[in-house]
Amino acid sequence: MSRNARFSRNIGLAIALTGMLGFAGSALAATPAGPGVQVVVKGSVNDAVSQLKKLVAGGGMMVMGELHQGKVMAMTGLSVESETIFVGSPTAGKKLFSAEPGVGLVVPVRINVYKDAQGQTVVSYIPPSQQLGAFHDAQVDMIAKMLDENLQKMVGMLGM
């Protein structure tokens, strides 16, 4: 096997493994004491996701994607309740990408809704300012703080 073929195969395996670990980690590792913001909410995971989508739309943002981690993990035999939505604002996104094209690594913002080990529904996200601060750009920092406030308000409306 050529050096390039081995390299390509190894990269492919690394990507596949990283993806699997990412799914498992996001579905299992987070607890109310985990990283970022965690808010315990009433109702089921599906109820919380539905309410969150309405709040996002009402808050001038939009759901830009969804990841059904529970369904993906079910293919491995693991039963977890975990849904992720990707939330953003085209207006804020335009400003962010104009200031620093690399922000696509962080935005749209990922919000995970899952059932924890105690059976509670938890909404979790890492505040955009924590991730976007790595770009060391004043305009990016200002927009990140605005996104922090919007997310805090929306998720707070879901809290118990």
Tens of pLDDT, residues 119-156: 999 999 999 999 999 999 999 999 999 999 999 999 98
Cα distance between residue 114 and residue 116, in whole Å: 6
Q: Tell me: pLDDT of 118 over 70.
A: yes
Contacts of 78 (CB under 8 A, 6+ apart): 24, 27
Q: Tell me: pLDDT of 18 over 90.
A: no
Cα distance between residue 12 and residue 17, in whole Å: 9
pLDDT in tens, 41-88: 999 999 999 999 999 999 889 999 999 999 999 999 999 999 999 999
CATH class of 3-156: alpha beta
Among 34, 30, 50, 53, CA closest to 42: 50
pTM beyond 0.95: the answer is no
Q: Domain residues of the chain, as ranges?
A: 3-156
Residue 35's pLDDT is 83
Q: State the burial class of residue 113 (Cβ atoms within 10 Å of its Cβ: 0-12, 13-18, 19+).
A: buried
pLDDT in tens, 97-117: 999 999 999 999 999 999 999
